[in-house]
Amino acid sequence: MRIHFHNSALLFLAILIYSCTPKPLDIELEAPKERLVIASQMLPRGGMVVSLTKSFSSLKKTKAGDGNYSEEFIRQIAVKNAVVTITYNNVTENLTPNDTIPGLYQNLSVQHLRYQTYVLKAYDPQTGESIEAHSTMLIPIKFDTIASYVKVENASQNFYIKYSIQDPGYIKNWYMVSYTKLVNGQRVALKRSRLPKNIPLKKTALNIQNPETEDFEIFTDLGATANVISAEKRLEGITPSDTVIVSLTNIEEGYYNFLDTKRRSGGIVTSFAGEPVNLNTNVVNGYGYFTTYFPTITLLSSSQVLDLSTFQ
């Protein structure tokens, strides 16, 4: 009898809950115009590489069944046969398509000139879309000191790094420090959990689609004391035998704001309560960010520090 009552009550509650959720309504939305998307990288021994892709509808499937971006998707968004030029120091040079990677354009003879403004232009004859973006190459800054160590906390070994930067001081600077490690010869970004690592997510009642985020830091020279910026940081997902690659980059203010907004828009709270955020861009008539920064790189393990800076 008690079981019958219990089941009846459950059935009543189920009907009540079901009745609380009306059928969603479909809606048609106009797709935004396809625009060119820019990403760039300066190569250590001279030259530059630019990636040119297209924006796409929210209704486009991006990932294959294995959770990775599908080859078809990458092929669809890559912009082939575009006209890409870079202008600096009163010289204009073409970037040519990479033979193996669609959407990648390169020129290995582009010179790296400090405080020079580079103007990137691209034109896609297929769609008629064109973009223009400007970026100024800043001087690279090296870590003044950097060290790693392992600390035992709550019976677990945690990997820390401690560093200091000598800020030039005479101009305002914005910095990015990013962390990667080598896995099977490939650089892999370190991730940090959006919540402390021992919190069981299933019990937080938070619907976090991506509980981890790329671990990087951005900061300005405002916190410098006598032109020295110091910091200490714990890195997650590191074992003492891992080799960690730490990159320090002197970035433009606009790119700092781009990264800052990107990071803010991915937090736990903003994922369900935040305001809509369109990332800022320096690409006229397009998306993404055109950069000409140059990182200095340090390899770290728990037992040694190796300076691999290649650009002085």
Partner 1 sequence: MGMISLNPKQIKMLPAIGGEVDVVKVLQLMPGVQKGNEGGSGMFVRGGTSDQNLILLDEATVYNPGHLFGFFSIFNNDALKDVQIIKGGFPASYGGRLSSVLDIKTNEGNNQGFKVDGGIGMLSSRATLQGPIIKDRMSFILSARRTYLDKVLKVFKYNLPYYFYDLNAKINYKLSDKNTIFFSTYFGKDVLNLSSDTSKAEDLFGFGFKLGNYTNTVRWNHTYNKKLFSNVSIIHTNFSYNISGKFTDNAFYVKSKIDDLGVKGDWEYYLNAKNQIRFGASFIHHNFRPNIVNSSGELTSSITSRDGARLALEESGIYLGNDQEVSPRIKLNYGLRFSSALAKSKVYSGLEPRVAIRYTIDERSSIKASYSRMKQYMHLVSSSSISLPTDLWYPVTESIKPQVSDQVSLGYFLGITEWATNVSVEAYYKKMNNLIEYKEGAKLMLNDNFDRELLNGKGNSYGLEFLINKSPQGKFSGWASYTISWATRQFDELNKGEKFFAKFDRRHNLSLVGLYKINDYLSFSAVWVFASGSRFTPVVGQYAIPNASLTDVDVMPIYASRNSVKMSPSHRLDLNLIVQQKKERRFKSEWHIGCYNLYNQTSPYKIEVVKEDNGALKYQQKGLFGFLPSLAYNFKF
Asked whether position 130 contacts partner 1 by CB under 8 A, the answer is no
Pairing of strands 48-54, 104-107: antiparallel
Q: How far is the CB of 86 from partner 1 (least distance, A)?
A: 18
CA angle (293 as vertex; 166, 234 as ends), nearest 5: 55
151 binds partner 1 (CB under 8 A): no
Q: Which pair of tokens denotes residue 179? A: 């962390």
Alpha helices in 170-214 (DSSP H): none
Give the total of residues touching partner 1 (CB under 8 A): 78
Site for partner 1 contains 128 (CB under 8 A):
no
Specify the residue for token string 């400007």: 134
Judged by CB under 8 A, the residue of 2, 58, 90, 152 near partner 1 is 58
- Of 273-312, binders to partner 1 (CB under 8 A) are 273-279, 287-289
Chain positions 169 to 198 lying near partner 1, rule: CB under 8 A, are 176, 178-180, 186-189, 195-198
* CB closer to partner 1 out of 128 and 200: 200
Residue span 83-122 as binding mask against partner 1, x where in contact by CB under 8 A, dash where not: ----------------------------------------
Annotate each residue in 16-45 with x if it binds partner 1 (CB under 8 A) or - if it does not, as one string: x--xxxxxxxxxxxxxx--x-x-x-x----
Kindly report the number of other CB atoms within 10 A of residue 139's CB atom.
13
- Is 207 a binding residue for partner 1 by CB under 8 A? The answer is no
Three-state DSSP state, 227: coil
Q: Select from 50, 77, 138, 165 the one that contacts partner 1 (CB under 8 A).
A: 77
- In angstroms, how far is CA 39 from the centroid of its own chain? 11
At 240, is the secondary structure helix, strand, or coil? coil
* Site of tokens 């728990």: 302
Cβ-based nearer residue to partner 1, 114 or 197: 197
Give the residue, chosen from 59, 91, 152, 226, that forms a contact with partner 1 under the rule CB under 8 A: 59
- Max CA pair span of the chain: 90
Cβ atoms of 106 and 96 closer than 8 Å: yes
Q: Which of residues 241-280 bind partner 1 (CB under 8 A)?
A: 247, 259-262, 264-265, 267, 269-270, 272-279
Using alpha carbons, list the distances in angstroms from residue 305 to 154, 186, 244, 296, 301.
26, 19, 10, 14, 6
